[in-house]
Amino acid sequence: MPENSPRAFVTGITGQDGSYLSEQLLGAGWDVHALVRREQGSEPATPAAPVLLDQRIRQHRGDLADPSQLAALIQDIQPGVVFNLGGISSVARSWEEPALTAQVSGVAVTAMLEAAWRFQENSGKPVKFVQASSAEIFGSATHSPQTEETAIRPVSPYGAAKAYAHSMVDIYRERGLAASSAILYNHESPRRPLDFVTRKITSQVAAIAAGSGERLGLGNLEARRDWGWAPDFVDAMLRMAAAETADDYIIATGTAHSVSDFVAASFAAVGIEDWEEHVFIDQRFVRPADASEMRGDASKARRQLGWEPTVEFKEIVARMTRHDVSLLEKDGLHE
């Protein structure tokens, strides 16, 4: 690694976004340091976990639930940019573990911002901070699309933790740290874990197409989401890290589809048109509260970062479905 390679500290590297981000950073010659949880054995395997096999990534054992250790790591690593993509990644799981969600998706961010700011103060070396914020901070927004000015009013433990972290990013930006929040709308890929609705659908559609005979049980089919292509969203965060001025940006496609649109498109990708007979409503997946439509206006990111989404809805669904069909053909199993 050349002496003067830019250095990044990435949390959440085994997640969908972390894996794409680290590939892009390594490709561009960055020195990549990653937070990796202490007890690997107890971690759920994620579709993106193989990223850790890349020997160029320097792994640091730690936990987002341990703020003092996070601070010490930042002090040691001395990163030029912190990309915080870690935390409880699913709204569904945040309802099961609300206090843990507050800790790892909220308090941990404050600990890292404070450590980055302190290091910058003491060393005189500038540190940038890019926070993976979320559309969930807007909760059940009264208007669509949402913009950077939309009122923050979360309706889930996940949204509340992200809203707190979002405010802290703004506070540290005021304090002199180049901290930015990417307000990410749903973004998908074949590396999405199976508990997100998109990958749950595409994996089960692939199984049904292969003759599993099972039916697909889902919760709210009417919910409308602005689904984009995950590598595009990672590209946005890289642009934010490269920008001269830190700021908050909505990252979204601007187009929303319902869960049933997604189901129909996935079945269509395997040549099944009469999808209704393969689907039923399973109350276990209906959430205590769920925004009816999340749709973002990314005009500011388009204008100021030159960012734009490159893959449209049907193609995202087709790519994910094809991936799951080929996984089944290969070994009959999902990771």
Task: Name the residues that contact ligand GDP, by CB under 6 A.
Answer: 90-92, 186, 195-198, 200, 218-220, 223, 225, 259, 285, 287, 290
Catalytic member of 94, 134, 144, 203? 134
* Cα–Cα distance, 153 to 136 (Å, whole number): 9
Q: Which residue is nearest to ligand GDP (CB)?
A: 223
Shortest distance (Å) from residue 195 CB to ligand GDP: 6
Name the residue nearer to ligand GDP (CB basis): 57 or 184.
Answer: 184
C-beta closer to ligand GDP: residue 116 or 216: 216
Q: Which is nearer to ligand GDP, 84 or 89 (CB)?
A: 89
> Given 20, 158, 164, 249, which residue is catalytic?
158
Between 164 and 185, name the residue whose CB sits nearer to ligand GDP.
185
Helical H segments across 243-295, by residue range? 259-269
Q: Per the residue annotation, which of 105, 136, 164, 172 is the catalytic one? A: 136
Is 149 considered catalytic here?
no
Q: How far is the CB of 181 from ligand GDP (least distance, A)?
A: 16
- Residue 59 or 260: the one with the smaller Cβ distance to ligand GDP is 260
CB of 281 to ligand GDP, least distance (A): 9
Q: Is 134 designated active site?
A: yes
Give the contacts of 21 (CB within 8 A, at least 6 positions apart): 10, 13, 83, 85, 234, 237, 238
Residues contacting residue 82 through CB under 8 Å, at least 6 positions apart? 8, 9, 11, 74, 112, 116, 127, 128, 129, 130
- Shortest gap between Cβ of 275 and ligand GDP (angstroms)? 14
Compare residues 80 and 217 and give the one whose CB is closer to ligand GDP: 217
Radius of gyration of the chain (CA): 20
Min separation Cβ 309 and ligand GDP, Å:
17
What totals of helices (H) and strands (E) does the chain contain, helices first?
11, 13
Written as one string, the DSSP assignment of 36-80 is EES-GGGSPP-TTGGGGG-TTSEEEEE-TT-HHHHHHHHHHH--S
Is 189 assigned a catalytic role?
A: no
Read off the tokens for 148: 């950077």
Cis preceding-peptide flag for 154 (omega within 30 of 0): no
Number of Cβ atoms within 10 Å of the Cβ of 29: 10
Joined tokens for residue 183 = 């307000």
Q: How far is the CB of 166 from ligand GDP (least distance, A)?
A: 15
- The residue with tokens 């007979």 is 277
Nearest Cα neighbor of 224 from 146, 294, 313, 168 is 294
Question: Which residues are designated catalytic?
Answer: 134, 136, 158
